[in-house]
Homo-oligomer: A and B are copies of this chain.
Amino acid sequence: MTSIHDVARAAGVSPATVSRALRGMDRVSPQTRSKVLAAAQELSYVASPSATSLVSGKTSVVGVVVPFLNRWFFSSVLDGTEQLLRQHGYHLLLFNVGRGSARTLMLDQRLLWKRVDALLVLSADLEPEEVALLAALHVPLVAVDVDLPGWDRVGIDDRHAAELATEHLLDLGHRRIAYVGGNPEEDVHLATALDREAGVVAALSRRGLELDSACRVRGDWTVRGGRDAGERLLSLRQPPTAVVAASDEMAIGVLCAARERGRIVPRDLSVVGIDDHDLAFTHDLTTVAQPVHEQGRLAAQLLLDALAETGPHQRQVRNLPVELVVRGSTAPVCS
Q: Mark A61-73, 1 if CB is under 8 A from B, else 0.
A: 1001000111110
In this complex, what residue of B is CB-closest to A222? B278
**Contacting residues of chain A (87-118) with chain B, CB-CB under 8 angstroms:** 91-94, 96, 104-105, 109-111, 113-115
User: Cβ of B94 and Cβ of A49 under 8 Å apart?
Assistant: no
Query: Contact: A69 with B59, CB < 8 Å?
Result: no
A14: interface (CB < 8 Å): no
Task: Tell me, in angstroms, the Cα distance from A257 to B83 when the chains sit together.
Answer: 32
Q: Which bracket fits the contact residues of A?
A: 35 or more
Contact of A83 among B79, B104, B223, B253 (CB under 8 A): B104
Q: Which residues of B contact A113 (CB under 8 A)?
A: 46, 48-49
* Structural contact, B114 and A50, CB atoms closer than 8 A: yes
Q: When the two chains form their complex, are residues B79 and A48 in contact, meaning their CB atoms are under 8 A apart?
A: no
Count of chain copies: 2
Known: A72-B70, A75-B70, A113-B46. A256 touches B278 (CB 8 A): no
Whether the Cβ atoms of B92 and A93 lie closer than 8 Å is yes
State A70–B81 Cα separation when bound (angstroms): 12
Kindly identify which residue among B48, B59, B70, B223 contacts A282, using a CB–CB cutoff of 8 Å.
Answer: B223
Q: Nearest Cβ in chain B — how far from A287, in angstroms?
A: 15
CA of A59 to CA of B93, assembled, Å: 13
Q: Which residues of A contact B (CB under 8 A)?
A: 44, 46, 48-51, 53-54, 59, 61, 64, 68-72, 75-76, 78-79, 82-83, 86, 91-94, 96, 104-105, 109-111, 113-115, 223, 252-253, 255-256, 278-279, 281-283
